[in-house]
């Protein structure tokens, strides 16, 4: 009640600190982990029901109407692979920290930008090959 009267935030920890490279990468690492888990569950559910969809009249009528679901599926798979690449690269960075390597701030920032460079490079390679 006193915090409300004085007009100060209850938990100022998010507003006091400015976002740093390591904290942003850590947050995105957690987000990609959740998204990849959800996409894996979605893929498993869809693959389980795929046999049922082949014989479903609604699915057959959607296919006959010409609604092409393949581009959506390709984009979903590519986005999942890109998220997996980020999660894997950043996870290997976290493992090196757990082993006690690259714990200086300069190394932390360097490896973060190295991950970003690898992600951009992989995206450029994909679009050059397609």
Provide the pLDDT for residue 26: 93
Per-residue buried b or exposed e for 16-45, using 16+ beta carbons within 10 Å of the residue's own CB: eeeeebeeebeeebeebeeebeebeeeeee
Provide the pLDDT for residue 51: 62
- DSSP state letters, 44-92: HHHHHHHHHHHT-HHHHHHHHTT---HHHHHHHHHHHHHHHHHHHHHHH
Provide the pLDDT for residue 52: 59
Averaged pLDDT in 10-residue chunks for the chain of 130 residues = 64 75 93 94 76 64 65 81 95 94 93 95 89
Q: How far, in Å, CA of 32 to CA of 38, rounded?
A: 10
Radius of gyration of the chain (CA): 22
The length of the chain, given as a count of residues: 130
What backbone torsions phi and psi does residue 47 show, to the nearest 5 degrees? -70, -35
Domain-by-domain residue ranges, the chain? 19-129
Provide the pLDDT for residue 56: 67
- Answer yes or no: is 29 a known binding residue: no
Q: What is the pTM of this model?
A: 0.73
Provide the pLDDT for residue 125: 92
Provide the pLDDT for residue 9: 64
Which CATH architecture group holds 19-129? Up-down Bundle (1.20)
Q: How far, in Å, CA of 2 to CA of 17, rounded?
A: 23
Provide the pLDDT for residue 89: 96
């Amino acid at each position: 009640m006193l915090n409300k009267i004085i007009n100060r935030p209850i938990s100022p920890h998010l507003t006091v600190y400015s976002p740093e490279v390591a904290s942003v990468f850590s947050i995105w690492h957690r987000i990609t982990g959740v998204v990849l888990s959800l996409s894996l569950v979605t893929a498993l559910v869809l693959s389980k029901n795929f046999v049922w969809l082949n014989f479903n009249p609604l699915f057959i009528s959607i296919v006959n109407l010409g609604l092409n679901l393949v581009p959506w599926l390709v984009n979903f798979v590519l986005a999942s692979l890109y998220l997996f690449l980020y999660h894997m690269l950043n996870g290997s960075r976290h493992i090196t920290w757990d082993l006690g390597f690259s714990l200086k701030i300069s190394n932390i920032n360097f490896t973060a930008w190295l991950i970003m460079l690898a992600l951009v490079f992989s995206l450029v390679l994909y679009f050059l090959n397609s």
